Amino acid sequence: MEITNVTEYEAIAKENLPKMVYDYYASGAEDQWTLGENRYAFSRILFRPRILIDVSKIDMTTTVLGFKISMPIMVAPTAMQKMAHPEGEYATARAASAANTIMTLSSWATSSVEEVASTGPGIRFFQLYVYKDRNVVAQLVRRAERAGFKAIALTVDTPRLGRREADIKNRFTLPPFLTLKNFEGLDLGKMDMTNDSGLASYVAGQIDRSLSWKDVKWLQTITQLPILVKGVLTAEDTSLAIQAGAAGIIVSNHGARQLDYVPATIMALEEVVKAAQGRVPVFLDGGVRRGTDVFKALALGASGIFIGRPVVFSLAAEGEAGVKKMLQMLRDEFELTMALSGCRSLKEITRDHITTEWDLPHPRPVPRL
């Protein structure tokens, strides 16, 4: 079967992967309301296309923290990619580099910062969880810097792990032949079997619940790298993040895996963009599966988007070639959406190119598929 859109990779991944692994990647927290909403909310935004504009040349290039990339579509951090495919993060790094876009490596990768750097050139960010032992954090950040990573994406929505019931049912744990490679030498690379989620127990034991804004400041004392604060959903926290020295903000609800019944990220985006007042770039992750979704996020003020699950699903389906094809499909769809909306460059995408349900005086219900 020929794959014609990003969503089709999920069914193939489900066939290819052990249930425990597929469920880990696919599931959300508790009722999974936000998981569905992250996708569904995009359908509440409609286009106002402009016609008879010369769209024979479309420029999708953009700059993120000073780095020029081919499109505003980047790779979000997703953990333990070797569960999806033996080449794991190596394959993802090569695919992102081939697409001339940014890859974010997870703290909980099954390949180390050094191993990912060894795949060749590429612009890479490092996602950071703050461990109770700050020496571990300092060491990890220094290693990422030395390996040529260009920014830190600090995850701020996980003082504790969200309740992911599939992981509890499956007694999720990292397969024995894999380790969290960045922590291997620190005796933190393995996950114990528990009568719960092994990851939840690992987080409870290792991740610092006392993390606060002062730690964002502390991080700036140990690294010169710009810090993106990942997991912001409100105007209040946007202002605090900027005050604390963040170089950018990622509007994220952790793929709907933390607190259920938070809004879809696309619904929270505009509030954050308005609070940022152009002082720092705002990015979005969560629910992006189409080029139309990318356009909608940019029209609401995002500087770019990150994709998570489509990476691991395309990786599970077809390895590096799958991730490459997935990125190319999103790119092609986004280019087509720009052309059909009458936009020749990213700066031409404006709020006037969309209308949202919440713009209307009497929102009419959009039927849920």
Task: Express each pLDDT in 10-66 by its tens digit.
Answer: 999 999 999 999 999 999 999 999 999 999 999 999 999 999 999 999 999 999 999
Q: Which one from 85, 254, 353, 362 is the annotated catalytic residue?
A: 254
Could you tell me the residue range of the domain that residue 237 belongs to? 6-359
Is a pLDDT exceeding 80 seen at residue 120?
yes
Residue 366 covered by a domain: no
Average pLDDT over residues 245-271: 98
Does the active-site annotation cover 353? no
Whether 367 maps to a domain, the answer reads: no
79 is in an annotated binding site: yes
* 134 labelled ligand-binding: no
Residue 191, in any domain of the structure: yes
In the chain, the largest separation of any two C-alpha atoms, in whole Å, equals 62
What is the percentage of the chain residues whose pLDDT exceeds 70? 93
Q: Any binding-site annotation on 113?
A: no
pLDDT score of 360 more than 80: no
The structural domain count of the chain equals 1
The CATH number of the domain holding residue 192 is: 3.20.20.70
Residue 159 lies in a domain: yes
DSSP code at position 258: S
Averaged pLDDT, 288-299 = 98
Q: How confident is the model at residue 201 (pLDDT cuts 50, 70, 90)?
A: confident
Domain contains 365: no
Judge contact between 96 and 75, C-beta under 8 A.
yes
Residue 61 corresponds to which amino acid?
T
Whether 1 is covered by a domain: the verdict is: no
User: Which of the four pLDDT bands, split at 50, 70 and 90, describes residue 194?
Assistant: low
Both tokens assigned to 78: 């997703």
Task: Classify residue 364: in a domain, yes or no.
Answer: no
Q: Is 129 annotated as a binding residue?
A: yes
CA distance 59 to 133: 45
Residue 188: inside a domain, yes or no?
A: yes
Residue (of 58, 45, 71) closest to 300 by Cα position: 45
Q: Binding residue per annotation — 197?
A: no
